[in-house]
Structure 1
């Protein structure tokens, strides 16, 4: 299959309308229809059920939509990494490291300082993002290496080294009755009056249903907690980032969080290898 055919098919499969798909692609409708028919002939299976009024996906078409999106994302990631590799030999950044804004400042600072002291170290650009976004940056080729947190981030298909595991705490406004306790359980936080858990955006930008406030970054969340509008469950290392108007209490039955440094398996960067080596050395 050609990437052009995949782009055409994905557009039709997402729009379920040849006219809208053609407009989205900037081409006329007849060549789009011919391209989809040619793809179906090549694969030997129908991908779309067409009537005079509707277009629906067949079972095979639904599979190709998932696989086609993944293939196109991989191609785009390869293009980005190729351009970044060329820039790295001229005047571009040597490495791009992406991590959540709430990642331990001590961990990040120690890693960057230790790497900078290495012979042959290159400049490191740090991108701070919201939860879940760092994995997407890495997979799409916008970053060379990432700090991820299992079980919340998927590391499938990536190379990883574990840097440490820690428990979680609930972050509450200072003076809240629960802050007088040595520990709590997740059940204690369910329906906590006036302090719902926040809602983070999904990859498509929408928010899951629920009573919690919509949040987009860590600073916004901590401000909402301080105002008594939300609570937050986070890795224990977040304590170092809390101001006096916030308090943290261990959550006994919250899942443990393992921080890993991750990079694409196809990476051949010496700088990435050096950064990973430094990270694992610091964690031992």
Structure 2
């Protein structure tokens, strides 16, 4: 079998995503006949049928479903290789650190200080993103190392856990639940998280991205129709009673406000801060950052702060 080309993979992925040759051709900026010929040629080259075609629909075969997953991974790797090469060719390359703001458990300043002591010549560039975007930034070559909160998609990544922290619920001080010293997830029925997930489920965000009718408690401000991702925005909505959220204890300590009550949740899983990097990374700078991060986290755990008190 001859080597596959990136062009063939891109054509197939587009058809598989659209399940319509006309729409796929439009996305690719070409006409339908050469796209159809290209897909047939790919199937002959592989010796398998990737798509079932009828006059009414196009569907993936079992072989096509497997090939789609691997084709996406291959295209992702090709794009990442180009980004990493361009980054390495910069006159003053930087270590790109992917993270979500305020999810570093207070470790980042100490990690950066210790890292600069090891390699003062290499600056660190922060690649900030929303929830769940850090792992993809590493796979796509947009970042070299990341601070991620588990669980996350660890495909093609290596990682080391740094610090595990309890999470609490942040709710408006005017919420009736704020009068209780501690809560359970079931107590949060009717309240929503920043991504639109029902707070009593603590599950993944809904497929509609959290948009839709509010399920806020009567008397509270209606939930936002757009996802809140910035911590300042999230806490402002918590203050108004529009949402609740599950920050770690370290975040709750840093953002004490009279309008917000932080309460323990007895059945809420803790959060683990993790340092992660691409499996194929061979960078001394990445290795140094990981070594420093693990060392700082271990020292922090040895001098763990007292638990968060139940305060508004």
Q: TM-score, normalised by structure 1?
A: 0.88
Q: 1:199 aligns with which of 195, 198, 221?
A: 195
**2:69 counterpart residue number:** 66
Alignment of 1:1-284 (within 5 A): 1-87=4-90, 90-92=91-93, 94-104=94-104, 106-151=106-151, 153-191=152-190, 195-199=191-195, 206-208=208-210, 211=215, 213=224, 214-217=226-229, 218-244=231-257, 245-284=259-298
Could you tell me whether the CA contact under 8 Å between 1:160 and 1:261 is conserved in 2? yes
- 1:203–1:233: structure 2 CA closer, same or farther, 3 Å change rule? closer
The CA distance in 1 between the partners of 2:121 and 2:147, in whole Å, is: 19
Give the number of aligned pairs. 277
Q: Over residues 30-60 of structure 1, what are the superposed CA-to-partner deviations in whole Å (9 max), with x where a residue is unaligned?
A: 3222211111112222112223343222222
1:241 Cα deviation from its structure 2 partner: 3.3
Q: Over residues 224-279 of structure 1, what are the superposed CA-to-partner deviations in whole Å (9 max), with x where a residue is unaligned?
A: 00111111112222113324222211111111211111011111111111111111
- 1:79–1:206: structure 2 CA closer, same or farther, 3 Å change rule? farther
1:183 Cα deviation from its structure 2 partner: 2.0
Q: TM-score, normalised by structure 2?
A: 0.81
Task: Name segments (4+ residues, structure 1) moved above 4 Å.
Answer: 200-206
1:27 Cα deviation from its structure 2 partner: 2.5
2:146 counterpart SS class: strand
Could you tell me whether the CA contact under 8 Å between 1:215 and 1:221 is conserved in 2? no
Could you tell me whether the CA contact under 8 Å between 2:98 and 2:145 is conserved in 1? yes
The CA distance in 2 between the partners of 1:9 and 1:203, in whole Å, is: 29
Q: Over residues 126-182 of structure 1, what are the superposed CA-to-partner deviations in whole Å (9 max), with x where a residue is unaligned?
A: 12221111121112111111111112x132431112211111100112343333433
Structure 2: 5+ residue stretches without partners: 198-203, 216-222, 299-312
Aligned-residue Cα RMSD (Å) equals: 2.4
